[in-house]
Structure 1
């Protein structure tokens, strides 16, 4: 018997093939040109939006394709395979920003922002992390939001905010009651053109120019109370749901990057000769390629399992965390092995190997660091704290 989940999986594979072709034709040939120009590629974002890459988890009423989370994972994997920096779109345009607005925002907010985000005509950013926050980013949050009539006034700063300098809209987290710790955090939709909202690029040369990261300064930014996501003090719930979606995307992107490492290693090992033979004939290189092939397949299976559970109607916090943690570890090992196989050529600007190394390490941190994920997974396995204790529906617009 063919289930709806099986059909969603087949559709996801077809969409993944479309994205792979797009990456080969529209992204990889332009990488050097785009990096040298240093301009944010809005045209590519619009193209991807028009092709439906960002609308997988949204109904047709808001411009989505309703293809599901397996499709989202497939798109994220293939975009990361094409070029890692551009796959950040799968969090900001397809998951953490529009899904958060759809799940927690008033109908007017959803209508105003979600169609534009998933079409690529609007760009979004997720302003959660702060300079001193680290893994305790909500409990240690210093940004304040004070009620003033029918508005809130937000003051503070955020750090490491991807695409903030080009975004049209931000999801901003701030404390409305500092005495309550993480229970006093609230979330807001903030147009970046609002007076007092300013950005400053954080130099990150190793990440290239196509995924800009920024500091955000909020100087008495006034936003309507109607821009509150959920209720006042529900920011922790909002943030956790956003990161659950983000973990699936980051896990899938890690798989795509690990696959790119494997493909590059195989091609190079079949071409490069040393001591009169192709280096693929050396046992050490064979072992590295074998490990990559096995681990990439295993990580992909974990991601696909988590995505299928999303499609069944709930957010599988445990499965998405395990997938994110393992895929990140696999991606880092694959990038390291690829650098060893390429030797000195790994550092050449002619090849993307150093980019693979840098993004593999970055994705171990995003949406929950590897160390934090390991602690959460272990606590769950030990029976000390269930990761699924706050089960939530995965359909846009449906709250816990």
Structure 2
């Protein structure tokens, strides 16, 4: 079991201010320029790594700060407030990719990849989903990994893989025993430069150009057996643990985006006039602002509770799923209400409101769709399927 991070509330507040001010100074004034050029902002990822944004859940020996999961949630929330596409790094650089390698990889894999991921020196991606499978990515998985001497040879395809075209390393899931169901899935660390690893950008205009999503073709990709995460056939458990971390990050990002919506709505309602008065004086708009205020606070509390469980080294599958589900619902309602308050101005390219709407819906889907989360939560509450039945505790010392 991991130790509780010795990060005080004052430390967290200071970290929030650092991330917030960095975003105000370095990102918000440039978001339109960044979108127009479409060039992936690798320098911003390096800055975030250098500032310790990605290293919250790792000890200094692995390039981290040891600040803990509450700090990870705080950073993810503030980055989403800054600009939603940029906060994707909190899954790929701070949670899903490096934590999975740290918890399941050999000492050599951990030493080779984790410090460079969390410092932003290299970029990672997580290749689970396939063209024929979304929530059923394991049942529909067709990617195969066949043992060949000291290597595995991977063939197949992945879809909707964030940052794959700019990544230096990927975690790829493949079936080593197709007849064994979920027990036949294995996970591998695959350097992106490996011959046969071919990402192709999938244009998604509504998501902008700063969080690229991709298809990946795997054509006789040869990977050393030493790059296996966990044991052969343990990929399902590896994936479920990875998604727990991802759900905490997505939940925090949904809170940050909902807060950005609330802040934008309040500022606009206090300045825009119609019918001879500020629109903030209209009762229906007051009701929308009141609902957003209360729901954002409630979602933030759920995220904090899940993060605190992780800091104790506990399994928090149920808590992270509840936080992700509720925060996603809150974020979508906040984005919709903000668009209604802005009216026609919400569609302006000079404002990020349409971006808020699109990312609110994306995060409601990512790391387990809202419908799937609702089913999991209900089955757990009914006592039919425990949500943490496939989970394991963290390796001691990884998430201090």
TM range (shorter): over 0.9
Query: How many Å separate the matches in 1 of 2:396 and 2:226?
Result: 19
After superposition, residues 285-364 of structure 1 pair within 5 angstroms as: 285-364=285-364
Q: Give the conservation status (yes or no) of the 8 Å contact 1:8–1:70.
A: no
Partner of 2:27, secondary structure, is helix
Determine whether 1:167 maps to 2:167: yes
- Is the Cα contact below 8 Å between 2:379 and 2:385 reproduced in 1? yes
Instruction: Show CA shifts across 1:291-339 (max 9, x none).
Output: 0000000000000010011111113000000000000000000000000
CA RMSD of aligned residues (A): 1.4
Asked whether the equivalents of residues 176 and 233 of structure 1 are also in contact (C-alpha less than 8 Å), the reply is yes
Q: Does 1:43 align with 2:43?
A: yes
- Which consecutive aligned stretches of 4+ in structure 1 deviate over 6 angstroms post-superposition? 396-399
Q: Count residues in correspondence.
A: 397
Q: Quickly say closer, same or farther: Cα 1:286–1:26, change in 2 above 3 A.
A: same
Secondary structure of 1:188's counterpart equals: strand
1:96-115 mapped onto 2 (5 Å cutoff): 96-115=96-115
For the residues of structure 1 that align with 2:8 and 2:216, how far apart are their CA atoms?
A: 39
Structure 2 equivalent of residue 147 of structure 1: 147
Secondary structure in structure 1 of the residue aligned to 2:215: strand
Structure 2 counterparts to residues 10-159 of structure 1, below 5 A? 10-159=10-159
Within 1, Cα distance between the matches of 2:391 and 2:247?
16
Asked whether the 8 Å contact 1:311–1:394 carries over to 2, the reply is no
Q: Residue 271 of structure 1: SS of its match in structure 2? A: coil
Distance 1:172 1:26 in 2: 33
Report the Cα distance in structure 2 between the residues aligned to 1:134 and 1:4, rounded to whole angstroms: 35
How many angstroms apart in 2 are the aligned matches of 1:351 and 1:391?
42
1:343 Cα deviation from its structure 2 partner: 0.3
1:355 CA displacement: 0.1
Deviation at 1:389, TM superposition (A): 2.8
Q: Is the 8 A contact 1:19 1:75 kept in 2?
A: yes
Asked if structure 2 preserves the Cα contact closer than 8 Å seen for 1:77 and 1:256, the reply is: yes
Instruction: Provide structure 1 residue ranges, at least 5 long, that are not aligned to the other structure.
Output: none
Query: 1:254, 1:328 within 8 Å by CA — same for their partners in 2?
Result: yes
Answer 1 or 2: higher relative contact order, Cα 8 Å, separation at least 6: 2
Give TM-score, length-normalised by structure 1. Answer: 0.97
Matched residue, 2:190: 190
Judging changes above 3 Å, is the alpha-carbon distance between structure 1 residues 277 and 95 closer, same or farther for their aligned structure 2 residues? same
Further displaced range: 67-76 or 27-36: 27-36
The equivalent residue for 2:240 is 240
**Take 2:393 and 2:11, find their aligned partners in 1: how far apart are those partners?**
22
Map 1:197-212 onto structure 2 (within 5 A).
Answer: 197-212=197-212
Distance (Å, rounded) in 2 between the aligned partners of 1:225 and 1:50: 32
| Post-superposition CA distance 1:1-31 (Å, at most 9, x none) | xx95684444222211110111101110111
